[in-house]
Every structure is written in C-alpha cells, then in structure tokens.
Amino acid sequence: MPQHLLLFLRPAADALRRVLKERTGMDIALSPKGAKGSITLAVDTALHGAEHYRVEVSKKGLTITGATPAAVFRGVMTLNQLLLADPHEAERGRIPAVKIDDAPRFALRALMIDPARNFLPVKDVKRFIEVMAKYKYNALQLHLTDDQGWRIALKSYPQLASPQSYSAADIREIVAYAAEHYIDVIPELDIPGHTAAFLSVYPELGCTHLRNAPIKVGETVNRMLCAANDTVYTVYNQILREVAALFPSPYIHLGGDEAAVPTNWEQCPRCRAMMEQKGYKRASQLMIPFFERILSSVRATGKKPIMWCELNNIYPPADDYLFPYPQDVTLVSWRGGLTPTCLSLTAQSGHKLIMAPGEHAYLDYPQMHHDLPEYNNWGMPITTLEQAYRFDPGYGRTAEAQAHVWGVMGTLWAEAMPDINRVTYMAYPRALALAEAGWTQMEHRDWADFTQRLYPNLDELMRLGISFRVPFELSGK
C-alpha cells in the first residue's frame, strides 16, 4: 500500500483497532505492508461515491474497502455494528461471514448542537462526536452565537466572547478530533436576529431607536443588527474572515431565522430611509440587501453559505411571495408545517436543501408527554422515536423533485439542556432513527426491525454512560 494512502487510512485503522479490541479483545498490529494479512483496509478506486464501502468477512479474513478513506472509516463503523449485534460470538473472536456493499442515500447527515444557549466544554463536544460517528453522521453544526452567548473567542473582536467560550485552540482541537471521525464541523453565526449577546457588547450596531434600551444577555430580547449601518458589515466581514480561517469546513451557516423585523427594522429611522431609497414596501425586504453584503463577505472567504429557510417569518406568504435566496445559499427546512412548501420552492429554484423538519428532526422536542423539557416549553410538540423514524427526507416525492435534497440534520436547541447529559438524553435514541433516515433507502427501512436492532445499541450507550430516553416505544400519550 502506498505510504500516503496509509497516512489517510490511519483514522480508519485506529478505529478498527479500537473496535476489535473492545468487542473481541484482539489487539491487532498495524502495518503499512499488511496486504498479505488476514485483516485488510484499503481504498478501492473502483468504488464510486465518497462514502461507498464494502465489508467482507470470510474464512480468509476481514477486508474493508472504500472509495475514500472516509468510506473505509464508515465500513469500520459497520463492523462495530455487526459485532455489537452478537456480543457473545464477538467475545470469542468470531465475526459473522458477510459481504456488505453499502453507500448512503444522502451525502449529508448532520447533528446540530447549541453551545450558545448552554455552553458545552470541549471534552463533551468530543464525546458527542465519538458517539455520532458510530452512526455514520458526517457533519456537526456548532450554533456558536445567539442571544444567550457568543461562544467563540476571536482575535479581531475579543470583547464579544462570553465568559464560557471556545478559544482558537479549542476549535482546532474539536475540528481535528472530528476530522479523525470524518465529521465536518460547520460553524453557525446567527444573524441578523438572535444577536443580543453581540449587541450587549456593541449596542451601537443595533437599530437607532433601541440604542438606549438595555440588553441583558441570557434574555431573548429579539434585538437585531441594524441593516442600515455600514459598521455592521465591516465588523462581520472581519468576523467571517477569522471564523472561516479557523474552520476547514467549506460551509458557514449564517442563521437568518426568527428576526423580529416589526420591532427593529420597521421602527428604525435609518432602516426606514433605506427602505424608501430601495423602494421597498416592507421592512423584511431589507433582508435582501443585508444578506447581499454579508454573503459577499462569505464568498470572499471561499466558503459556501447555509441559512435556515424562513418562509413565514421574514418573508410573509403574501401575494407578492418572496423567495429571494441567492442561488449559492444552501437552505435548511425546519419550521413545522412549512417543509412541503420549502421542498417544492427549492425544487423549482434549484437551491440545495438540508432537511431538518420540526416534525421529525427537532431533537429538542420532548419524546413523551410530561418528559423533558418540563420548563421552557413554548409548546414544543411531542416527537416520539417512532415519529423520528418515520421520516423520509424525500417526503415521498419523485426522484426529480427530491434530487436537490442534500441530506438531513437533527437539531438540539439547548435552551432547556443545561449540560451534555441532557443533550444526549434528548438526542438518543432518536438520533439513531435520524441516522438511518439519512443513510438508508426507504425500501430497506422497517420500524419493527429498527426497534430490534436498537437494543444492542442502547445497551452500548448505557455501558458508555451516555444518557438517553427510555422507554422509547410508547406512543407518547
């Protein structure tokens, strides 16, 4: 095996070693020239698709091949699943004879965590990464800024950082750890709403009429960045440059959700003047020039923008229905009830779409009646494990009408999650259902079968000390 390939296969080889040690007690030695051994990992360029892999176990040995090193790593995770399914055999060093040829239905399978609302230390984020990697997730979105906190310490604007935040070294540590699991870490800086933490430091960058209205970090005060203040764009240009340099991800998420336009831009003399000058009828139309400038800063960094798809909040469904997202913005469908519309609109417009519908993928919603969160529930609907599982990210549409769906994302908004235990309690086992929705073709999905395959995995989560919700099979009533 060429030396450079081995280097790239190192994370998969390390993972294989851990899996075999943990499940079978075997301690295998790694060798770059192990082509003759009974255990082989290799990149096979005859395979296509970034995560296409094969696992073959026979009398001759174990071979895991993949189109890329990431694919080989996913194959190792599948081996882990096989061994988990029959721990007694595995303990005896016996691996079932199989021939698996597998590739994901969707290229993106993401979870989003929210250290902005409740900070999560680096070690907890790393642990979270470890678990999600076992289920072949390949992206972690970090919601880094919100009303409750600004969680990234920047050189350019150090004052912004909340007392608990990630340093550049922390970010590098998270990113490197994620990379070993072939997980892309996507930063999110939420603008122009959800910016109370920012505006508590720079109140002069909010709308003119609110400058003297006090802001308390930790309260959702629905303040927005002023659309008609040049300094906002200069500051964010610098922030985006620094964030872009810290994260190797090709993407930056800019939020764009839940902006309180009527109490901010609509009342602000400067924003009103800008509306007039542009000939706009509604203050929400200022989103167009606002994001035009922000997006040009993002493009200058070489990154691709992602935004929450807002259909009824920023852009009210009036007769002059607006769908003004520039073509290079990847959208995330999230708001309950709006996903079918969002799916259709983006199919027409050709925008790339991530599916995170509130109906299935909002892992911050309670899993049962009277379950957590018992406080701070603004009316979140119950989302059972079964409801999470019954998610077809293509919403049953024709192949053509879902061709623009890039993948799935589960959100763990953390207003009611004070620590990582609560985060995993909300995430699991539903994130297992979502992982399957993202990976597996509909014809291979089966709820009853899933619940059976679930047990060894729950057993494993328990053994690892990861909290999760049981019982999970009840209807939720």
Query: Among residues 15, 105, 25, which one has the least CA distance to residue 64?
Result: 15
SS3 content of the chain, % helix, strand, coil (to 5): 40, 15, 45
Q: Which tokens hold the place of 397?
A: 């549409």
Q: What is the dihedral of CA 400, 405, 406, 411, to 10 degrees?
A: -160
Contact between 334 and ligand TNX by CB under 6 A: the answer reads yes
* Number of residues near ligand TNX (by CB under 6 A): 8
Q: Which tokens hold the place of 126?
A: 């790393």
Does residue 4 have an active-site annotation?
no
Asked whether the beta carbons of 410 and 436 are under 8 A apart, the reply is no
CB of 74 to ligand TNX, least distance (A): 28
Does residue 146 have an active-site annotation?
yes
Contact between 359 and ligand TNX by CB under 6 A: the answer reads no
Which of 364, 389, 434, 468 contacts ligand TNX by CB under 6 A? 364
Contact between 147 and ligand TNX by CB under 6 A: the answer reads no
Strands 61-66, 39-43: pairing kind: parallel
CB of 257 to ligand TNX, least distance (A): 4
Does residue 258 have an active-site annotation?
yes
Contact between 413 and ligand TNX by CB under 6 A: the answer reads yes
Question: Closest CB to ligand TNX among 68 and 141?
Answer: 141
Of 51, 114, 146, 310, the active-site residue reads 146
Asked whether the beta carbons of 364 and 416 are under 8 A apart, the reply is yes
Of 143, 181, 194, 253, the active-site residue reads 194
Amino acid code (one letter) for 430: R
Contact between 415 and ligand TNX by CB under 6 A: the answer reads yes
> C-alpha distances in angstroms, 175 versus 121, 349, 421?
14, 33, 22
Question: Closest CB to ligand TNX among 102 and 258?
Answer: 258
The residues in 429-468 that bind ligand TNX, with binding defined as CB under 6 A, are none
Amino acid code (one letter) for 157: Y
The residues in 220-279 that bind ligand TNX, with binding defined as CB under 6 A, are 257-258
Specify the DSSP class assigned to residue 380: P
Contact between 177 and ligand TNX by CB under 6 A: the answer reads no
Contact between 119 and ligand TNX by CB under 6 A: the answer reads no
CB of 476 to ligand TNX, least distance (A): 17
What secondary structure does DSSP assign to 87-149, as a single string? HHHHHTT----EEEEE--SSSEEEEEE-TTTS---HHHHHHHHHHHHHTT--EEEEEEEETTE
Contact between 188 and ligand TNX by CB under 6 A: the answer reads no
Question: Closest CB to ligand TNX among 68 and 383?
Answer: 383
Of 86, 89, 258, 359, the active-site residue reads 258
Catalytic site residues?
A: 146, 194, 258
Question: Which residues bind to ligand TNX, rule: CB under 6 A?
Answer: 257-258, 308, 334, 362, 364, 413, 415
